[in-house]
Amino acid sequence: MFQWLWTAVWSAVMLPLGAAMIAGRVPLWMRRQSTPGGLKVKGIAAFVLYAGLMVPPLTTLSGIRPEDADFVRMVLVPMTVFLGHGLILGATLCERFNRREMERAGVPAVPATSTSGMPDHRGTAR
């Protein structure tokens, strides 16, 4: 029962989140903090984490021998969790370093843009 519940909830949360991040359809506060490329990398990281954390329930539901399931979990889960978090950390550090270099060079901050590349003014009083 737990495996089915985990699969349903994890799929309902992570798949739309990853797809929205890759497409750039995220809240304005998130667009202000990240570049479009950084959001895409974070979306890919969400899919990597989704795949990695689906391994335990799927190995239980698949009916493979417990020894084999433990081996698969032991190899795949840490690898995908570290890869996903590494992608997120790498994208965040890259954005931070690029922002610092722009500040040092005196380049003004880039305004938040929508997926069409036009400035996004939703949620601001005009």
The model carries a pTM of 0.78
Q: Stretch 86-114: mean pLDDT, rounded?
A: 82
The number of angstroms, rounded, from the C-alpha of 88 to the middle of its chain's C-alpha atoms is 7
CA distance 102 to 99: 5
Mean pLDDT for all residues in the chain:
86
CA distance 97 to 35: 12
Phi and psi for 100 in degrees, rounded to 5?
-65, -45
pLDDT digits (tens, 9 = 90+) for 21-61: 999 899 898 888 888 899 999 999 999 999 999 999 999 99
Domain locations along the chain = 2-103
Q: Which residue has the higher pLDDT, 118 or 17?
A: 17
CA distance 107 to 100: 10
Going by pLDDT thresholds of 50, 70 and 90, the confidence category of residue 105 is confident
